[in-house]
Amino acid sequence: MNRNEALQLVKAQLTEKRYVHTLGVAESAVELAERYGADIKKAELAAIFHDYAKFRPKEEMKQIIMEQNITKDLLDYHSELWHAPVGAYLVEQEAGITDQEILDAIAYHTSGRIGMTLLDKIVYLADYIEPGRSFPGVEEVRKLAEQNLDAAVIQAVRNTINFLMMKKQVIYPATFHTYNDLIKNLKEKM
């Protein structure tokens, strides 16, 4: 599927504001893929589709999670997390994308996962640092992303955990596991 076809499919699913965000994520993903040697087309496609299910009704997402046996414990956490794995499923079903690497990058762009691939990290980070984002800590992560992908992802996950803790919100365990795995891998490289 080419870029324009993907954008056309995605635009029909998103608000104008979220579509502009998606364009920024795609731009950031391409830059990161070029910098860190990932497949540029896969990075762009995963980024374009990363929020495909963002505005699906919660009941529809809940039903898909249950019927498709997607990590059911997800239902015990904030519904904001649901669109990522549901989106991966719907992108495969509705857009016909079957590349597992792309689908995984979509599925884990909110929580991360143990053993994140290069593409996972790029889409996760591109979503975090895209040019339209403005919140405390984003500039630090953007600067890190220019030098060290892993350090940038670690800082983005750390910021996310800290933000959720300050808001006294529950944190999906996969996010903690992602952080621990990234730190463990970083220490092994030292």
Q: Which long-range contacts (CB under 8 A, 24 or more apart) does 16-22 make?
A: 18/51, 18/54, 18/55, 20/132, 21/51, 21/130, 21/132, 22/47, 22/48, 22/50, 22/51
pTM of the model: 0.96
Q: How confident is the model at residue 144 (pLDDT cuts 50, 70, 90)?
A: very high
Res 186: pLDDT? 85
Residue 72 has pLDDT above 80, yes or no: no
Q: Does residue 173 fall inside a structural domain? A: no
Residue 37 covered by a domain: yes
**Does residue 70 sit within a domain?**
yes
Tell me the pLDDT tens digit for each residue of 19-65: 999 999 999 999 999 999 999 999 999 999 999 999 999 999 999 99
Distance, in Å, from the CA atom of 180 to the CA atom of 186, rounded to the nearest integer, reads 10
Q: Is residue 158 part of a domain?
A: no
Q: Give the model's pLDDT for residue 189.
A: 79
In-domain check, residue 121: yes
Q: Give pLDDT, residue 188.
A: 86
- The pLDDT assigned to 107 comes to 97
Per residue in 166-178, pLDDT tens?
A: 999 999 999 999 9
Give the chain's domain count.
1
The angle formed by the CA atoms of residues 158, 99 and 37, to the nearest 5 degrees, is 55
Residue 83 lies in a domain: yes
Which residues span the domain enclosing 12? 3-135
Any idea what the CATH number is for the domain that residue 117 is in? 1.10.3210.10
Contact 84, 107 (CB under 8 A): yes
